[in-house]
Amino acid sequence: MTHDDHGRSYGRKVDRLPASNPSQGAPRRRLKIEDILPCYENGIALGTLVLTADGALPVEYLEQGDRIITRSGMRTLRNIDTPAPQMFTLIFDSAEVIFADGFQVHSKTGKTFAA
């Protein structure tokens, strides 16, 4: 059994656990699993547990060939697509804005700066 930083156990050995803090190198991406969970066209958030033949695993630990338990039975994971993050426009209802450490923010001019 493998345990993560939160004490959760997983049925498979995982070589590297993701850091919980972006400054510690946590991956910043979303995963899209084709032909397994088609209702999640825009991806699955990191940390989401997925039932596999090896037990419940965070989505970032899935590999091509893993056996995924779905509502329609066991399926083999054929592909993992990790598209580049999309850009979003942030609109706030007040002048005060708090940014999470380490995130990049794009200005209207297209310049990137760290928050």
Number of domains in the chain: 1
Q: Does the pLDDT value for residue 69 go beyond 80?
A: yes
Q: Is residue 16 part of a domain?
A: no
> Cα separation of 59 and 87, whole Å?
22
Digit-coded pLDDT (tens) for 31-40: 444 444 434 4
Q: What is the residue-averaged pLDDT of the chain?
A: 63
Give residue 61's domain range.
33-106
To the nearest 10°, the Cα dihedral for 18, 42, 64, 15? 0
> Cα separation of 17 and 7, whole Å?
12
> Cα separation of 67 and 73, whole Å?
10
Q: Is residue 52 part of a domain?
A: yes
Cα 81 to Cα 48, 74, 111, distances in angstroms: 16, 20, 27
Q: How confident is the model at residue 81 (pLDDT cuts 50, 70, 90)?
A: confident
